[in-house]
Amino acid sequence: MKLLLEYLKPHRRFIALALTVKTVATVVELFIPYILSYILDDVVPMRRVDRILLWGGMMILCAAIGCVGNITANRMASKVAKQSTERIRHTLFERVMALSAKQIDAFTIPSLESRLTSDTYHVHHFVGMSMRLGVRAPLLLIGGIFVTATLDLTLTLIMVSILPLIGITVWLITKKGIPLFRKTQRSLDGMIRIVREDAQGIRVIKALSKGDYERRKYDSGNRTLVENEQNAGSVMAISNPLVTLFLNMGLVAVILVGAFRVNGNLTEAGKIIAFIQYFTLMSNAMLGITRIFVNYSKGAASAARIEEVIRTAPDLELCSETEYPAHANEKGIVFEDVSFSYAGKKDNLSHVSFALPQGGTLGVIGATGSGKTTLIQLLMRGYDVDSGSVRIDGRDVRTIPREKLNTMFGVVMQNDFIFADTVAENIRFGRDLSDEELRRAAKLAQASEFIEAYEDGYEHLLQSKGTNVSGGQKQRLLIARAVAGTPRILILDDASSALDYKTDANLRRGIRENLVGVTSVVVAQRVSSVMNADLIVVLDDGKPIGMGTHEELLRDCSIYREISESQIGGAILE
């Protein structure tokens, strides 16, 4: 909970004020039963209506002050909970955005989504409830014991004797509840993963008639979540009945002993009535403390999960050029004996070396799983190489500041996304680009024709994930986004797989003619997409098995020649 205290610290003065208001309101409430006892035992026997009205008015005043004070303090508590949780959520989101690809793989996307939503909600709920009941409940309990001790010490001792039982019960239940809530949150992560996957693949699921299969998988995840929630809820649900049982036992004991004491003229009836009221206040206080511990179980588990992400140290820190010296006069992209493994066992890329001059085009081709996308990830420093070096203009990518490195690239990835907004905003992507730049990018990407066919043109609204455009149209929009900012390095990772050959050829021609000086990296399965590249790298199981121009590979690389002949008969298409 250290993280939570850090985010509450800036509000400490406001919290102190809120707790002061809550304290005053609670203390004033404690006077009400005492005044009632005084009226019944001392004022009523006087038979003076004016004194009864006076002290009755004091009870009303105390009730009003308590009501206004509690409402004010509760509103202040809600404000603190809102602002502190907002900052936690903002920091958490910022940290998630800064996680490396390796760290995201470790946490998983569904888990990060759960931490940003349900975990922050639990923390918000805990902060608000702690401020509302954290002062009021203990004050009512301690204050009630103190006041009742002045009324009748014997009855107070009877009432206090049950508190250790309640304390031990709450402590044991809370101790068992926190691990159960953590397990529940992990089950929720799994549930979110299933829902997320099904939502993304709904068209494929329907096309293959796999609705029943996915429904069974969903039911399994849902059943696991329900069982874990039920286990956690069942344990925490024991607290209220047990606490109520102990409190009622204490109340019965107080009434019985009190009756004998009144009968023996050892105490007065008004004090017994006051005792019952104080016992009610103290009962509610104990139930409130129990609720705090229940919510603490959820809040502590959620805060720990949030802190785990926020405290995760960056694993792609900026390295010095002393460790990785720059190569003077070197321009373009260089891979020097690069090897990399995701799991640390088998290399996903092994001993890859090549040099691409600035403004040149690199084509990367190979079977699925051959390491094409991994090569791109290493170039953009989504991961660090295990050995070797990746350099841009002579500088190892590990020595280039993240902000500067990211702005070098215009990228279209295999599983890139369209978000729910206009065509213009999907291409602009938060950058300060003019309408003319957007149109020029759309034209280069062969997208202007279908965009301008919409009645509202570039203001046409797209649905999330581009479900209201075709696959080819979506890819052209993504390419327009990538080229709109005139990047130094353009990366197209299987970005034209949904395009027909004519559109693909026009796109490649447009890139060559309009992006002069821009270094291009084209990852593809089609030979026609890479055949005009200055350098083509053929990958197989992470190893480069061929490297050169299209003509050189046709002559020297049998696998490339087989791919080319199977797709285009070895001919040159344009």
Give yes or no for residue 30 having a pLDDT over 50: yes
pLDDT at 573: 44
Which range, of 201-210, 333-342, 378-387, averages the lowest pLDDT? 201-210
Give yes or no for residue 536 having a pLDDT over 90: yes
pLDDT at 570: 46
pLDDT at 471: 83
* Tokens found for residue 424: 């213009």
What backbone torsions phi and psi does residue 362 show, to the nearest 5 degrees? -105, 130
pLDDT digits (tens, 9 = 90+) for 202-235: 767 777 777 888 888 888 888 888 888 888 888 8
| Contact by Cβ (8 Å): 515, 490 | yes
pLDDT digits (tens, 9 = 90+) for 272-319: 887 778 777 877 777 777 777 777 777 888 888 899 999 988 888 889
State mean pLDDT over 265-270. 77
Q: How confident is the model at residue 1 (pLDDT cuts 50, 70, 90)?
A: low
Q: How confident is the model at residue 24 (pLDDT cuts 50, 70, 90)?
A: very high
Give yes or no for residue 571 having a pLDDT over 60: no
pLDDT at 335: 95
State mean pLDDT over 137-164. 81
- Which one of 157-171, 275-289, 446-460 scores highest in mean pLDDT? 446-460
pLDDT at 43: 82
pLDDT at 65: 93
Give yes or no for residue 574 having a pLDDT over 60: no
Report which of 297, 291, 298 is spatially closest to residue 174, judged by C-alpha positions.
297
Amino acid at 313: A
Residue 330 CA to residue 321 CA, distance in Å, equals: 15
Higher-confidence position of 538 and 102: 538
Higher-confidence position of 334 and 152: 334
Residue 399 CA to residue 460 CA, distance in Å, equals: 42
pLDDT digits (tens, 9 = 90+) for 342-380: 877 788 899 999 999 999 999 999 888 888 889 999 999
Helix or strand holding residue 338 (H, E): strand 333-340
Give yes or no for residue 515 having a pLDDT over 50: yes
Q: What is the pTM of this model?
A: 0.70
Tell me the Ramachandran region of residue 119: left when phi exceeds 0, alpha when psi lies from -120 to 50, beta otherwise: alpha
Give yes or no for residue 170 having a pLDDT over 80: no
Residue 408 CA to residue 490 CA, distance in Å, equals: 9
Helix or strand holding residue 426 (H, E): helix 423-428
Q: Which domains does the chain have, with CATH numbers?
A: 2-310 (1.20.1560.10), 417-486 (3.40.50.300)
DSSP 461: B
The three state secondary structure string of 425-487 is HHHHCCCCCCHHHHHHHHHHCCCHHHHHHCCCHHHCECCHHHCCCCHHHHHHHHHHHHHHCCC
